[in-house]
Amino acid sequence: MSKLRIHPHLRIPALAVLALAGLCALYPAPSQARTIHLIETGSTLLYPLFNLWVPIYTATHPGIRITTEATGSGTGIAQATADLVQLGASDAYLSPALQRLHPGLLNIPLAISSQMVNYNLPGLNDRPLHLSGSVLAAIYAGQIRYWNAPAIRALNPGLTLPHHLILPIHRSDGSGDTFIFTQYLSFSTPAWMMTTGYGTTVSWPSVRGEIGATGNPGMVQALATNPYAIAYIGVSYRSAILKDHLGQAWLKNRAGRFVSLTHSTVEAAVASRAPHTPPDQSISLVFAPGAQSYPIINYEYAIVKEHQASRHMAQAVRQLLDWAIAPTGGNAPSFLNRVGFAPLPKLAVLQSRRQIAKIH
């Protein structure tokens, strides 16, 4: 039987064989390629932005799958802490107690959002009411019960308000929106701070006609279906507010001026407060100084553990977050403008990148 002969010039040197084997290990066949599945859950305010990001990001990163869920900031923090998800989305930074209990837990700002105070006043939804933190605190405490109460009329001279019971709507789930709204009430009204305070959940005072709702979509629906109601709603749902022809208040800021929610008033608040962000980025941006500052803005956080299940998972999380905060990536106007968010200032981007680099 004749033996198969290989032409001398076609023989593959042993080193080349080893090199080829190494390349195959680095770049496996498509059928063997590793797929990383990331789960994001939490903030309903951040949820619309993640849903804009995901299809664009995964189209250029075919080895990454991302599942998003709108469960509320409280759930986002809890599930990230318990290692049930890789990314917890939250409008609230981590409390000092939680940071002490979980020293490897990071809160990383991804963008800047804001919050509206909206109302359903038949015949008056096209009129911007002036409201202050102290008046809102009195409404949610049940101390101001009717729309034509003297305190509300004093802020809106010349406007005829109805003698109708106010229906305050609040979140019934753990919510970063509740966190920043109750911060506005607390920072502007010492009595609220001493009694109810702020948090993702609070013990709301019992008020006649009060309504509990889940998530920002639930808040919009409850407001739209209940005339004479008032609610706090994240800016990423502004299109739903406009669609339902609901009112939007001008809020009293720390300087004592009433300001509407605009790009310039958010920028003023960012410029005033964001430079004071500490390295761990746990800071409230609510009730910032400045004559033009809108009073309810905040960082939108990714809650992430430094130590991930594998180096591949850690790499995938780092790459996604680095892209999300990049001005040419997730912080591009093409994404942020669609949900009413503002980009991270340069200092916050640098701080976020330092935190992202800790993920391993």
The answer to whether residues 175 and 89 touch, using CB atoms and an 8 Å cutoff, is no
Instruction: Please compute the mean of the pLDDT values over residues 287-291 and round it to a whole number.
Output: 98
In this predicted structure, what is the pLDDT of residue 17? 36
Give the whole-angstrom CA distance, residue 334 versus residue 4: 63
Is pLDDT above 80 for 21?
no
Is pLDDT above 90 for 191?
yes
Which tokens belong to 7?
């032409």
Is pLDDT above 90 for 5?
no
* pLDDT tens figures, 234-272: 999 999 999 999 999 999 999 999 999 999 999 999 999
Give the whole-angstrom CA distance, residue 243 versus residue 228: 18
Is pLDDT above 90 for 26?
no
Is pLDDT above 80 for 66?
yes
Is pLDDT above 70 for 179?
yes
Instruction: Please compute the mean of the pLDDT values over residues 97-122 and round it to a whole number.
Output: 96
- Residues ≥6 apart with Cβ < 8 Å to 74: 173, 174, 175, 176, 200, 201
Give the whole-angstrom CA distance, residue 242 versus residue 250: 15
**Listed residue (275, 297, 277) closest to 285, CA to CA:** 297
**Listed residue (140, 228, 129) closest to 182, CA to CA:** 140
* pLDDT tens figures, 310-327: 999 999 999 999 999 999
Distance of CA 175 to the CA centre of its chain: 10
Is pLDDT above 70 for 10?
no
In this predicted structure, what is the pLDDT of residue 33? 57
* pLDDT tens figures, 74-87: 999 999 999 999 99
Distance of CA 7 to the CA centre of its chain: 66
**Listed residue (6, 7, 72, 76) closest to 39, CA to CA:** 76
Is pLDDT above 60 for 40?
yes
DSSP class per residue in 24-84:
HHHS--GGG---EEEEEEE-TTTHHHHHHHHHHHHHH-TTEEEEEEE--HHHHHHHHHTTS
Instruction: Please compute the mean of the pLDDT values over residues 25-48 and round it to a whole number.
Output: 75
92 — pLDDT class (breaks 50, 70, 90): very high
Give the whole-angstrom CA distance, residue 221 versus residue 187: 28
* Domains located in the chain, CATH noted: 36-113+298-356 (3.40.190.10), 115-276 (3.40.190.10)
Give the whole-angstrom CA distance, residue 265 versus residue 268: 5
In this predicted structure, what is the pLDDT of residue 325? 98
Question: 157 — phi, psi (to 5°)?
Answer: -60, 140
- Eight-class DSSP state of 296: -
Give the whole-angstrom CA distance, residue 155 versus residue 49: 35
Instruction: Please compute the mean of the pLDDT values over residues 176-200 and round it to a whole number.
Output: 97
In this predicted structure, what is the pLDDT of residue 34? 80
Instruction: Please compute the mean of the pLDDT values over residues 216-228 and round it to a whole number.
Output: 98
C-alpha distances in Å from residue 82, one per residue of 8, 107, 301, 302? 61, 15, 17, 15
Give the whole-angstrom CA distance, residue 360 versus residue 355: 11
Give the whole-angstrom CA distance, residue 144 versus residue 161: 14
